Amino acid sequence: MTADPANPEHPERAAVAALADDFLTRLREWIAIPSIGADPAHHGDVAGSAHWLADALRADGWPEVAVWDEGPALPAVHACWPSADPAAPTVLVYAHHDVQPVDPLEQWEHPPFEGVVVGEELFGRGASDDKGQVAMHLLAVQAHLRATGATAPAVTLKLFVEGEEESGSPHLGELLDRHADDLACDLVVFTDTPMYSRDAPTVNTGQRGVLGAEVFFTGGTSDVHSGRAGGGVPNPATAIARLVAALHDADGRVLLPGFYADVVEPTPLERADYAALPFDEAEWLSANAGGARAGTGEAGWSTLERVWVRPTAEVNGIQGGYTGPGLKTIVPASASVKLSFRLVPDQQPAKVMAALREFVAANTPEGVEAEVVVRGDGVPAYAADVTHPATLAVHEAMSASFDQPVRYSRTGGSGPAGVLHDRLGVPVVYFGATLPDDRIHAPNERVVLPVLLRGAEAAARLWRLLPERLS
């Protein structure tokens, strides 16, 4: 290992510093390609983005680079850089290069596809989610080689950067199956999550799963005048409200049968870490909860725990009867509710869906007909094992790079980590250096460059540490 003489304890930091200008130029160039996967008019840009990435990897010396553009999936990029040591572990970095739409455009203070730098921040769609983090990995590999003085990484590195994450990764399973050999690995490093905050860097260790369904209640075939029959016939809107009310007990626990049977609680170490994180409820509500006035939820758990490690049942939408202006004295013929369940390990979407059907059947009153429509297969939750050597190595690399205590955190949203785990049959760890207030999916997305560079340093360090830690 070649230590930078100016920075003997931080060879990766010195290497990152030396490469930082090129990194920024390159990321701004990539951000300029509007790879909006949700908009068919931009599918050419998604392909352009994939080819830009492939070219960048080739320029960096990655020996195997391919754009997978076989359809129906939008173009994904795959690359591999074998370690010189055939016994070294193989690590697959997962990320994505498609970006969210930019509406409402008028709310952007800088053009979303120009990569404007203001102070420490780089603004643009994808700056944080997820081009910034992919570029961070490219930089990290260069820095790793420079810091170690080697011509190949210490681990066999594979990169898989898909183009449909923002669309829910509809063809991910198909890609994983078709390219099973190319993607075979010992560990997945999942790079599409943030840290807790700049002042409290964390290793993310999990995402919740999600399952959506719609319940339709029907009484008669048409609305009924409430003067004629009100009080004498079932009211599907009242019935759907009662169904929703029955979803939780007074402690905020979800009452689907067996809902908590498979729930794995976080370890005491994780709970202690969550409790140690700086948390200001009012600030959190304003940043995360659209101005909600109070944190509430399942009894016995903190707000962070409620959104990170506890499963939920949420009403996303409810509708029934007359909803125009003024009043119409009817008993509605039908009503419906859109529900989503955030899941945690080891809840299985299919099992929760079966429990929902059972719950709906038990809560359908006489004279009402129920229909449950499932929205997709759901996304399973995933949590990294905090005692696994790979997780510990990430923690070690982050701790050495951020010069601050690093804790564990999770995120409440969902992603394909569980799918990667299930299909590839290997552990998944999360690695990310973006921030929750980067305004991803919103106007004025940005990334904080010094934080991202520390992330690159940590990744470079991780590749150096992993062969020994996993041995």
Q: Is 417 in the site for a copy of itself (CB under 8 A)?
A: no
> Per CB under 8 A, which of residues 434..453 are in contact with a copy of itself?
441
Residue 1: HSE in the Cβ half-sphere, 13 Å Cα cutoff: 17
Report the alpha-carbon distance of residue 366 to residue 51 in Å, rounded: 59
**Helix, coil or strand: residue 78:** strand
Residue 129 touches which member of a copy of itself, Zn ion, none, C-beta under 5-8 Å by kind: Zn ion
Among the listed residues 61, 63, 367, 425, the single contact to a copy of itself using CB under 8 A: 367
Closer CB to a copy of itself, residue 5 or residue 290? 290
Among the listed residues 78, 158, 171, 306, the single contact to a copy of itself using CB under 8 A: 306
Residue with tokens 């009484």: 219
Stated as kind and residue range, the H or E segment containing 352 is helix 349-362
Partnered with residue 77 across adjacent β-strands are 67, 161
Q: Is 342 in the site for a copy of itself (CB under 8 A)?
A: yes
Instruction: Give me the sign of the Cα torsion angle 296, 297, 302, 305.
Output: negative
Closer CB to Zn ion, residue 147 or residue 428? 428
> Per CB under 5 A, which of residues 85..144 are in contact with Zn ion?
129-130
**Which range touches a copy of itself (CB under 8 A), out of 72-80, 180-188, 328-336, 419-427?**
328-336
Q: Is 414 in the site for a copy of itself (CB under 8 A)?
A: yes
**Which range touches a copy of itself (CB under 8 A), out of 31-39, 101-109, 139-147, 312-320?**
312-320
Binding mask 35-74 for a copy of itself (x = CB under 8 A): ----------------------------------------
> Which amino acid does the sequence have at 275?
A
Distance of closest approach, residue 165 Cβ to Zn ion, in angstroms:
5
Closer CB to a copy of itself, residue 87 or residue 294? 294
Strands 116-118, 121-123: parallel, antiparallel or unpaired by DSSP? antiparallel
| C-beta separation of 288 from 196 below 8 A | no
Among the listed residues 39, 85, 298, 437, the single contact to a copy of itself using CB under 8 A: 298
> Per CB under 5 A, which of residues 154..213 are in contact with Zn ion?
192
Spacing of C-alpha 312 from chain mean position: 17
Closer CB to Zn ion, residue 7 or residue 167? 167
In Å, what is the CA distance from 10 to each residue of 22, 152, 190, 203?
Answer: 20, 20, 24, 20
Residue 219 touches which member of a copy of itself, Zn ion, none, C-beta under 5-8 Å by kind: a copy of itself
Residue 322: HSE in the Cβ half-sphere, 13 Å Cα cutoff: 13
**Helix, coil or strand: residue 185:** coil
Residue 133 touches which member of a copy of itself, Zn ion, none, C-beta under 5-8 Å by kind: none
**Helix, coil or strand: residue 446:** strand
Among the listed residues 74, 333, 451, 452, the single contact to a copy of itself using CB under 8 A: 333
Report the alpha-carbon distance of residue 420 to residue 470 in Å, rounded: 20
DSSP letter for 105, please: G
Residue 248 touches which member of a copy of itself, Zn ion, none, C-beta under 5-8 Å by kind: a copy of itself
Closer CB to a copy of itself, residue 159 or residue 428? 428
Report the alpha-carbon distance of residue 421 to residue 400 in Å, rounded: 27
Among the listed residues 9, 86, 291, 471, the single contact to a copy of itself using CB under 8 A: 291
Which residues, including other chains, have CB under 8 Å from residue 326's CB and lie 6 or more apart?
A: none
> Per CB under 8 A, which of residues 230..269 are in contact with a copy of itself?
230-235, 237-238, 240-248
Closer CB to a copy of itself, residue 50 or residue 224? 224
Partnered with residue 447 across adjacent β-strands are 122
Q: Is 401 in the site for a copy of itself (CB under 8 A)?
A: no
Q: Is 410 in the site for a copy of itself (CB under 8 A)?
A: no
Residue with tokens 């094992």: 385
- Contact positions toward Zn ion, by CB under 5 A? 129-130, 192
